Chains A and B, each alone.
Chain A
Amino acid sequence: MKWSTIRMGWRNLGRNRKRTLLAVGAIGLGQFTLVFVNSLMAGFFLDALDTVTGPMVGHVQIHHADWREERAVDLYLENLSETREALQTLPEVEKVSPRIYTAVLAASGEKSDTPALADPGFIVGLDMALERDRGGLLETLSDEQVPGDGEVAMGRVLANRLGVEAGELLAVIGQDADGFPVSDLFTVKAVIDSNVELVRSMGILMSLENAGELLVMPDLAHEIIVHGADFRDADALRAAIADVVALDAAEALTWREAAPEIVRFIEMKDWFDFIFLAIVFVAAAAGIANTAMMSTFERRHEFGMLLAVGARPRRIIGMVLVESVLLGLIGVLIGSIAGTAVALITSQTGINYAALGGSEVDAVAYGNYSIPLFVYPRFELRHVVYGLVAVTFTSALAALWPAALAARLEPMEAMRT
């Protein structure tokens, strides 16, 4: 490519500034939208994945081989302490959260003589200290609200249904690991909102020790939730876990296998990205093709003169292509700067996605999860690169036809126009 071709292409952009500005504006708007909206969606989906893989599903989950089918209280993992210790020695592992689960009937301890007020509940026995870390089920609790021995935290919906408030007694009736009926009274230490729908609607959260005593499950657990550094490395994490001898009879699943609906959710996002990219493609192509056609038509005389003095058609094709690609690149540059700036600023401030739509709802339910609607966009350089490549390619493609028309002009015929 000759420097003079680039110089002429660049200067030609200034000949009809209004048209150039309009085309640049359209391309820039497309790129801005691509970068910003994809950052917004990335933030939303990553938050959603954090929600899902955070407290409940984990990056890898380990349980009895039949647990997923039956969810029976006697399908537990043995040698919990030993297993936990072995897992914590793995370099890929960041957090090991054992859980005990069982369905119970719950009622207000003050009114437990009134069976009609009992409601289904779901006991989650967990490591209190661990669950208070970021991403844990008790992340939002203050020090004073953390349940101690004989205390529980209850999901808001269940507490409301039972008419139980913090400080009151809660009675639970269930079945232990050997199939015998069990019951006990617990003090409600806190009523919690959780983005895990099961916890919010039915959850009775207590210490692993209290749950073990209630269900007669010493050094046992139904599930061990394992977190690595990044949910995207779940396969490597499971491979490392598979070497742990104590898990021979258990099943280890990545979050993709444990929550296939989330995989569909991600695929939906990939389609969303693709559709957006396609829209930018089409908008850029239409804008550039129109500009290239108009400018080629207006300059027939000039192209005729070029051909008359002996310029090769490929030089004319080069001039039209360079002009279009420069137009596209300027638009992409402006759109990228604006999109990146807005994405980075809002990644700090956050955006109330629901409020934008006039809704007061702060989360949306998806499967068993409540996905937060206060979104922190995540800027990803790849969105800029996608737009850059797409618009450059589209610019050249859209200009090919007008360039070919210009190159096929007969010099004298073109100069007469």
Chain B
Amino acid sequence: MDTLANLAMGFSIAITPFTLMLAVIGCFVGTIIGALPGLGPSNGVALLIPISFSMGLDAISALVLLTSVYYGAMYGGRISSILLNIPGDEPAMMTTLDGYPMARQGMAAEALVVSGVASFVGALLATIGLMIFAPYLARVAYQFGPAEYFALYVLAFCTLGGIGSSNQAKAAMAAAIGLGIAMIGMDKTTGMPRFTFGELHLMDGVDFLVAIVGLFAVAEVFHFIESHGKDSAIGVKLGKILVPWRMLRQTSGAMLRGTGIGFVAGVLPGAGASLGSFLAYMAEKSVAKDKHSFGKGNPKGVAAPEAGNNAAAGGALVPMLTLGVPGSGTTAVLLALLLTLNITPGPLLFTERPEVVWSLIASLLIANVVLLLMNVPMVKVFVKILSVPAWVLLPGVTMIAFVGIYSLTGSSFDMLMMVGFGVLGYVMRKLDMPTVPVILGILLGNAMEDNLRRAMVLSNGDWWYLLSSPIAVGLWIAAILGFVAPIFLRRLLKKPALPATDPTLNED
């Protein structure tokens, strides 16, 4: 009952016509920012912090505005994933795998609606989870040390092979490239720069947004130029726009499972939204009966990662509020916002500043409802983008990509690097290698290495330390199963799948 009374208090603070207006604006701006390649939730929120200050907003209004942008961007990331095969931000990457094939089969609207509803379910349940369990969940973070995190990342890598359904070796190769790129930058365990060649811009490593925009958006442009737009990804078929109730019902299980996995990944400060959506996708694929259709436009492959990444966004608020540990780039920015508002997240926040916590939770719920209401009818608007000729759309996307990447650090170096990744993406496409594992390698490689090295420091080099807790052992068993099981199961499955983007394919 306490929870409900607190929530009522939160709503009484957070709901005013002015804050509702801010929520609508925030959701809209957030959705656009999320959809633009190169601009993700973290820079969206970062860009708006100074604006909210110059508008002279009080703490609660600023929180409402920025959480709306945060959730909006998490919703928006899927739009360009589905329509253009260019993820708007890193957690939306997994959505390209099935969302884009769906769009090519004329089911763009269905994919958008399913993923929108999945986002809503994920975010809503995660917010409720945050509300009820936050004080208890804070303790979970204490159970995860370097050995446990390392095992978690191994689990993610062991299931990687399943991504490129056509050729496992190519997926492994791509992941290895990503791991190699992750090694660039300053090594935390020795304080020494690696592979930077004296270039200061490489000291912090390669930003994965640069890699994503290069590998997806810029590579698409190169491909477009080569084919004179004939075989371009842009220009998918338009279908009728109806709410696909049957599809929603079919994918409800996927949404719930994705939410659970995503929320747990979000709660662990070292994991985050990208890992959440990745694991949600891989888990859904492994429990599904129609495995072979994943990667070719299976709605479950859209629902699971979207529910996963939005649930992770909600979950990430748990360690941020209760421990002051940001679980992702975006929560890091939100944390900074709270600090500037003189609110220090930490173990005492829930008891000392309940009005802040509960109005934040109330504003998350408001943002969610606004986003659902805004997104489903707006599907029509988004799908219209596809009727814009590619020769107009693509230069626009390219320009936005450059502006977005420039805004990351304000240096032209990142833009050159982005073009470099574009070339890599183009070559990989020619070799029919999946690019998603490259990003995962970059994204997870660093954290995996850091945790392994920390574990080795703590144990004085004793490898058995990695198996020293029940959680770690459990994760290792899951990892080994995830790696071995597909090898045996493959015989039971049908013939090798066709390439993911085969336009003649039209199943489900």
A and B pair up: no
A interface residues (Cβ-Cβ under 8 A, vs B) = none
B interface residues (Cβ-Cβ under 8 A, vs A) = none
